[in-house]
């Protein structure tokens, strides 16, 4: 019996060793802002990419993804240098990037090196016009614009003031929403501000006394939202709703700024608490809790999907023997599958035309249910409703 048990242990160990020895390892470069002004986004994204690698390696004993991470310090020049360094280290592809400007620099270097660059951090339009052959992204500004315009349209507002950061992607969404709403006969006023702006009272006062709009749409980043909503709480313009873009309808904002966020709308992919119904979704949440001791946020979710789609394409290209012959872009273009953010496929420019956002609303108890579109929501939106 003892001999049998020892033999069994030995065989199992050998099998495990054999399989791990024969797991083909692929280096994947991760270029992200882990310091600088986009560090929060970069860290959230890295969590998602790490979870994707962990889950991929668990389910694919013959293939192993090894991540090589470089901090681009939220700087275009550093992003370019990081991708060049990763190319020199022999990575098969690069993923990461945040902000269209920084990501554009990284994607340029990847394109020169013939490496696939996969991101969720460059939703702006102009990056697609640069003729990159190896650039892929899972999201775009159109997905956000549709959600914002749809919500404002369903609210039936007659006038809207847009407060937008001059950053490329936020300004692009603001401009597209302006066009959409103007086409519907809604009066639109745009207030563009520099990313360094801290005091928004003058802008809000203009909205209160000059624009007299029914709603404010904030196309901005987390720190801007806090400043804008605070200024609005002080000046109390006669509006019916405050609507924001990315990074707003998140549990982090609900926890950190409960008094400012209540009743505020923002784009979202999932309600909070998140309800994943698929096996993959449940495993994603469990892995995140195991690795980071917290439930995943939207940044981790986007990072997970971009990495998971990439890793799967690497596996398929390797199995077909095309990976070393430049077959990865072609394999990615064949992607046509459901993911945690919805359906993903890529057009000839590497864009995902299926990308769609929904709208969540901060409500009592720190919950953020989806409230738009109606077929996605099981909770009524509170409207008119404001944080004050």
For residue 269, count other CB atoms closer than 10 A to its CB. Answer: 21
Whole-angstrom Cα distance, residue 316 to residue 336?
13
- 210 vs 378, which CB is nearer to another protein? 210
Is residue 192 a contact residue for another protein (CB under 8 A)? yes
- 74 vs 134, which CB is nearer to another protein? 74
Is residue 205 a contact residue for another protein (CB under 8 A)? yes
| x-marked contacts with another protein along 228-267 as a string, rule CB under 8 A | --x--xxxx---------------x---xxxx--------
Return the residue of 7, 8, 199, 374 that touches another protein, per CB under 8 A.
199
- 206 vs 382, which CB is nearer to another protein? 206
- 173 vs 313, which CB is nearer to another protein? 173
Whole-angstrom Cα distance, residue 159 to residue 141?
22
Is residue 322 a contact residue for another protein (CB under 8 A)? no
Return the residue of 7, 11, 17, 210 that touches another protein, per CB under 8 A.
210
For residue 125, count other CB atoms closer than 10 A to its CB. Answer: 16
Bridge partners, residue 143, by sequence: none
Is residue 150 a contact residue for another protein (CB under 8 A)? no
Is residue 193 a contact residue for another protein (CB under 8 A)? yes
For residue 290, count other CB atoms closer than 10 A to its CB. Answer: 10
How far apart, in Å, are the Cα atoms of 187 and each of 216, 249, 298? Answer: 12, 26, 32
Rg (CA), the chain: 23
DSSP designation for 235: H
Residue whose C-alpha is closest to residue 66's, from 96, 95, 27, 92: 27
Footprint of another protein on 25-64 (CB under 8 A): 35-37, 39-40, 42-43
Q: Which residues bind another protein (CB under 8 A)?
A: 35-37, 39-40, 42-43, 74, 166, 191-194, 196-199, 201-203, 205-206, 209-210, 222-223, 226-227, 230, 233-236, 252, 256-259
């Amino acid at each position: 019996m003892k001999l049998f048990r020892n033999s069994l242990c030995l065989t199992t160990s050998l099998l495990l060793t054999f399989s791990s020895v024969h797991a083909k390892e692929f280096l994947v470069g991760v270029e992200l802002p882990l310091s600088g002004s986009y560090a929060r986004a970069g860290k959230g994204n890295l969590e998602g990419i790490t979870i994707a690698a962990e889950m991929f390696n668990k389910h694919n004993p013959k293939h192993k993804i090894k991540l090589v991470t470089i901090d681009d310090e939220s700087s275009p020049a550093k992003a370019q240098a990081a991708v060049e360094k990763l190319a020199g280290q022999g990575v098969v592809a690069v993923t990461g990037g945040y902000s269209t400007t920084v990501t554009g620099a990284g994607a340029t270097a990847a394109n020169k090196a013939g490496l696939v660059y996969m991101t969720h951090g460059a939703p702006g339009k102009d990056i697609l016009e640069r003729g990159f052959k190896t650039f892929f992204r899972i999201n775009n500004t159109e997905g956000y614009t549709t959600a914002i315009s749809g919500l404002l349209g369903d609210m039936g507002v007659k006038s809207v003031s847009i407060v937008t950061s001059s950053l490329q992607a936020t300004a692009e969404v603001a401009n597209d929403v302006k066009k959409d709403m103007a086409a519907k006969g809604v009066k639109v006023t745009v207030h563009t501000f520099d990313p360094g702006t801290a005091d928004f009272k003058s802008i809000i006062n203009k909205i209160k006394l000059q624009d007299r709009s029914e709603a404010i749409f904030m196309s901005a980043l987390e720190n801007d939202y806090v400043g804008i909503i605070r200024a609005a709480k002080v000046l109390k313009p006669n509006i019916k709703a405050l609507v924001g873009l990315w990074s707003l309808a998140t549990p982090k904002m609900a926890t950190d700024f409960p008094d400012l966020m209540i009743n505020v709308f923002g784009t979202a992919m999932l309600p909070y608490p998140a309800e994943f119904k698929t096996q993959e979704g449940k495993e994603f949440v469990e892995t995140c809790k195991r690795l980071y001791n917290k439930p995943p946020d939207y940044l981790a979710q986007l990072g997970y999907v971009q990495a998971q789609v990439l890793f799967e394409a690497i596996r398929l290209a390797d199995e077909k023997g095309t990976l070393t012959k430049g077959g990865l872009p072609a394999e990615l273009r064949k992607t046509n599958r459901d993911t945690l953010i919805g359906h993903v496929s890529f057009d000839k420019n590497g864009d995902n035309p299926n990308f769609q956002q929904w709208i969540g609303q901060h409500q009592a108890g720190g919950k953020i249910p989806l409230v738009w579109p109606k077929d996605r929501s099981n909770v009524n939106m509170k409207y008119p409703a404001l944080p004050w």
